[in-house]
Structure 1
């Protein structure tokens, strides 16, 4: 099964979707003899899928509120309502709305004998203010060696504390990999945002060989 690519598209991932994701990841990791990385890939995938789903739902909510997501004042007002009203229990109500809006989350695994790439893709780019906040979250994540420290400082947060980014970085670090193997790429031209985790299976690259984690074009 070397040199393969498997993709699945979700709108709001439920239990069946999670079971399919787990099955796919286990098959891939078994094919390269790295079942030990299951927690890293499955947890990272789930966190990044939740983040991507929230980003899509946010755009729907702004549309419903008739707020201009590109306008800073409207964005701040909309985010207050978004954070106070949204939790994962409400995700299923937006499944139909995501389909109708043409918004989706695409999960792709590209795997070969020596490397596995996990990509979580939205079909829209980051807004400038979102890119700035993602950059801040990457910087903030470096402060934490474990999730307990993060929770003690931030508590539970709907969207703003960077839980997903911090968790993926900590999972990579605790699995013996460089945190900067996790990156986010956004392109206005391609109308997409891609969160990517690239894991080498043979050797761990040195930190100075890995570029910045946020790419916007």
Structure 2
């Protein structure tokens, strides 16, 4: 049969473990316009590379309030309690080549696009060959993989081991239950913006659920 046994090429969206619960709850990767001219069209970013895209390294505030960009996968994992990546088929209908994103630019946004791509090439990335985008939300039904790398699975060379996260497993239900209990304990209503609901603000250092993830997935 034609195509039988064909290896599926994967396009990866990399983020941090702080996004695990929000992704489970929203059931989609949503287009964003991060760090670029606001006139560029929001997209969901993907790469065919097997490493965390350096241009997507998050930043953090030091003791003096100065924003600093993390320098390695190991630092990201240590500060964010792990790495996360979502994989979809590179030939999925929702995935488009980078050139389509560039062609949809608004007048005046070309400089911001070119500056970002040149910076990526300078850091050893190959956006022309590896980067892909989606102009629409990428729902869970399109995900082929949801993988997590715990801090101990990442060293100075990068990720040693990725663990598959099963959205139907009991530990996923347990995580959602613990989240609901925590929100109820602090009087947080679903959909409201507060520290317990904003993972980028609170989860990295204070959310107790993150410290239990490895125990959950390995039971």
TM-score if structure 2 supplies the norm length? 0.24
Structure with the bigger percentage of helix: 1
- Larger Rg, first or second structure (1 or 2): 2
